[in-house]
Structure 1
């Protein structure tokens, strides 16, 4: 009977090892270790300590006492109250009076049948606890947790082994000790591996943030974009995850899915590291290294000077001169407005630019030339924004570079879809996006989520060179029109409005003056 029980406990130990190796969350892992240790030894209480070598102390991590119904640390939601146990006392001597400290200092297992009769250890704190809580701490078993390098990373301490039939408090047996030592070894390796993975993930995210910092720092106008888009992406993804309407009712995110999408969001614009600063920073249509509108200002001054000389020589009347000066002033202000690019240009305005371009002026070489060059005409007649076709192609190329960079990385299985998510945020539902011209059915929900996040962040961004950040109503109106013309996912847009994702985002990232009262019933394309 005893051999059957031991065999069952060995099988349970093996199952525990499998469970430990699959747990990703460190707090849950620690809790699983302690609960498993109590179960295979049938102990009433237990504590798991983590060793902090830099402070020479053992920190309480998880505490459980079944008969008292108390739990601290882990998933209990209750904070750990005891202070850490110091391995060196106030006099600078090793603290062998505390059982768990002695376990670390001597690298030994301590098995005590009865704390009240044991010698060599200080159990005054234990007895005080017992008196206060009506408890009787009797048997103790403390085992060091050693990793694959035989370094102690913690201590498992169990209290009050119970007879499996009668429930009477008994001593921890040799089998209990061997089983706990085996579990402690497995647990230490599992915890070390999880910590190593966590450190690698932290390092990976730090490297991503390093790239994003470099991208954002290239230009004061895009600073924060690489931070805000991932944040909004996760907000909308969570809202979609909670949605139980329409096609999104079956969309579910696991912790693994969330991490994968988070990484994709952080890397969605990594290709911009190759985008020239003068294109990213182009705040006016004529800007290159400097705003060339001032060169055109100079040409107007030359025309005014020539007109004045002509008048003084008798070749032009005073009235004609004044009329020309007024006309040149109007044309100068008109070109200055065209240069800003804040509003979409009308056909009549484009025609007027071409008309002004035909004026003749005498250049620095003394030769007559057209007032505007072909390149200046091209830029001043940009219909929307400040980028010409070639510059927009340079900007758009960042997504190709992003995909190329991400697809070149050896992604582990749980991050395999990062390139697809990050590379799809400029695609459209109607297939008119770039770089691949994907349609809605060819895209994952995550990629569609990122597309909306990228657009809304751009609309509300308060630091772009060519515009002020729009209000919520203005931004949602434009986004609604994007839904109507097949640009963005209609169901995700409805979730974005219905769950007020836009408002949660605004409260974190927008200026107060941008957060106006939104009348959702007037947002184009919104279906409540």
Structure 2
């Protein structure tokens, strides 16, 4: 542009005979300027496109600096980002081409410099040029940092002394977002001409870099917003899991562990090089989607009553009613003793000591019978083994054999509801309670399908909602078959069952040993409830062993056979013991925090 102005002045004073030559020179200058502007516009557009397409924050920050350096042929570039509290400038990217000096970004080398304080002692920092630009929002263009006053360049000069470098021209530009907030500062050093001689940053170059900085700020803001939303979603998921954890510290552990096993299995399949899964690969986005599904797979349990989720005994509701039944037995023994003592006193008063002794023997027999029945009820209340017909008959017999007086009326010793619960054949849940538990997956699907997912998470409802399905359509809630289930849903089914079998923090059962868990999983494979190839990938990859040594009780680690191979997990017992002790402390702490005495 300066050359063009010079030619115009020459045209005004040049003789007519030289006018043609000067016009040709003008035409060439205009053409050159046009081509340069067109090139700059194209390049700026390309850079803008590249910036807007980049989602990796480190790569984006690096791209901003390298693009600005290439555009201006600058030898050095530094990018700062403002802290969340807007009180500091943090070094993010450092580049000096001639020294091959690189820090930050994708280099993996952290910038070792302290953040620049913007308001030391509460006053604005106008001494350091980057801080000045961050505070005022003004661009600073310096021809030579050694010949300028008003800024403190001791750090720059110190760098020059150590390296033999000579910092000269400097262009410092603020990065402003759509709300005109300063989110960072771009600093370029030592602009160079075509012969790589150091020159000042021209006004035209400054305008172009300001335009680039504007695009960079938008791209950086978008990336930060996307990351912020992603972090918010992650935090929200953790909050939901925490809410379920508040209902049951056991369920909270289940959610975390299922998510962990799910990702381990996916990683195992991803690394498989032969067989059915040889071509199956999971991208970071796929893994994140699986992670989210894992954390949300039991979200429906937030609506499940706590006593059902944690029902450790058959008579448990909001408390274990067996204690009430035991109290009845104690009252029954008291009443029998009182009745016997009254009769014994009458017999002794009548001089019938022999009959009194017989009565005492009968009393001891009745007390023994009552205590035996009480112990039986306490035993069947646990639900640790399959309940036979003769035991159910005995429960019904006890219910009517004794009587209790309520409001002056004689009633059966056990209520219909107590008999019904005590007669549960296996486990601690009635069919109705089992339906309540199973309904959580319906609620899970309804809740997850109601959310507006981004494209990368749109499969979360299907992944999370299919972990109770089987390969032959006998699962719930939709009765899907193998062809209707995604690989990810099948992975989650294996993870969910494996965790349920081996979990040792459930209130109603002990965790299975690895040999027993693998035996049961083998039956699940045989019955086509789960995918055997998925289980095989998990075990043979070593991820199963990794999980076992970190999550299972040492007593669960034994030797087992799988697919013709022997696996010895006893070697992990010492490590498992340390992990178990730490987790027990955490569970005890959660239970302690959950138990609040109200006065």
TM-score by length of 1: 0.87
Aligned pairs for 1:110-121 within 5 A: 110-121=140-151
Does residue 417 (structure 1) correspond to residue 459 (structure 2)? The answer is yes
CA distance in 2, matches of 1:274, 1:525: 44
Per the alignment, residue 150 of structure 1 pairs with 180
Q: For this pair of structures, how many residues does the alignment match? A: 522
Does residue 105 (structure 1) correspond to residue 147 (structure 2)? The answer is no
Does residue 28 (structure 1) correspond to residue 51 (structure 2)? The answer is no
CA distance in 1, matches of 2:178, 2:269: 43
| Structure 2 stretches lacking a partner, 5+ long | 1-31, 348-354, 568-599
Per the alignment, residue 388 of structure 1 pairs with 430
CA distance in 2, matches of 1:351, 1:232: 43
The equivalent position to 1:222 in structure 2, one of 248, 251, 261, is 251
The equivalent position to 1:376 in structure 2, one of 418, 422, 433, is 418
CA distance in 1, matches of 2:494, 2:115: 48
Per the alignment, residue 128 of structure 1 pairs with 158
Aligned pairs for 1:436-451 within 5 A: 436-451=478-493
Larger mean CA deviation between 258-267 and 476-485 belongs to 476-485
Per the alignment, residue 42 of structure 2 pairs with 11
Other structure's SS at 2:70 match = helix
Other structure's SS at 2:48 match = helix
CA distance in 2, matches of 1:515, 1:134: 65
Aligned pairs for 1:51-62 within 5 A: 51-52=82-83, 54=85, 56-62=87-93
CA distance in 2, matches of 1:359, 1:106: 88
Give the CA deviation at 1:368: 7.5
CA distance in 2, matches of 1:170, 1:342: 85
Distance 1:299 1:6, change over 3 A: same
Query: Do 1:469 and 1:514's aligned partners in 2 also have CA atoms closer than 8 Å?
Result: no
Larger mean CA deviation between 462-471 and 390-399 belongs to 462-471
* Greater relative contact order structure (CA < 8 Å, 6+ sep): 1
The equivalent position to 1:494 in structure 2, one of 519, 533, 536, is 536
CA distance in 1, matches of 2:434, 2:565: 30
Larger mean CA deviation between 239-248 and 366-375 belongs to 366-375
The equivalent position to 2:404 in structure 1, one of 363, 366, 370, is 363
Other structure's SS at 1:247 match = coil
Does residue 69 (structure 1) correspond to residue 100 (structure 2)? The answer is yes
Other structure's SS at 2:79 match = strand
Of Structure 1 and Structure 2, which has the larger fraction of its residues in helix? 2
Per the alignment, residue 272 of structure 1 pairs with 301
Give the CA deviation at 1:77: 0.8
Give the CA deviation at 1:326: 5.0
Distance 1:526 1:277, change over 3 A: farther
Distance 1:385 1:58, change over 3 A: same
Larger mean CA deviation between 375-384 and 32-41 belongs to 375-384
Larger mean CA deviation between 206-215 and 403-412 belongs to 206-215
Per the alignment, residue 292 of structure 2 pairs with 263
Does residue 199 (structure 1) correspond to residue 233 (structure 2)? The answer is no
Per the alignment, residue 559 of structure 2 pairs with 519
Query: Do 2:192 and 2:199's aligned partners in 1 also have CA atoms closer than 8 Å?
Result: yes
Per the alignment, residue 311 of structure 2 pairs with 282
Larger mean CA deviation between 178-187 and 461-470 belongs to 461-470
Aligned pairs for 1:460-475 within 5 A: 460-475=502-517
Deviations for 1:2-60, whole angstroms, at most 9, x for unmatched residues?
54344233223222222222322322221221122222222222110112373533211
CA distance in 1, matches of 2:244, 2:329: 39
CA distance in 2, matches of 1:104, 1:470: 61
Give the CA deviation at 1:214: 1.9
Per the alignment, residue 240 of structure 2 pairs with 211
CA RMSD of aligned residues (A): 3.2
Per the alignment, residue 583 of structure 2 pairs with none
Other structure's SS at 2:98 match = coil
Does residue 163 (structure 1) correspond to residue 190 (structure 2)? The answer is no
Larger mean CA deviation between 199-208 and 396-405 belongs to 199-208
CA distance in 1, matches of 2:426, 2:480: 25
Distance 1:49 1:347, change over 3 A: same
Other structure's SS at 2:405 match = coil
Other structure's SS at 2:58 match = helix
Does residue 433 (structure 1) correspond to residue 471 (structure 2)? The answer is no
Deviations for 1:258-293, whole angstroms, at most 9, x for unmatched residues?
222222222211111111122122111122233333
Per the alignment, residue 264 of structure 2 pairs with 235
Per the alignment, residue 526 of structure 2 pairs with 484
CA distance in 1, matches of 2:473, 2:434: 19
Query: Do 2:134 and 2:182's aligned partners in 1 also have CA atoms closer than 8 Å?
Result: yes
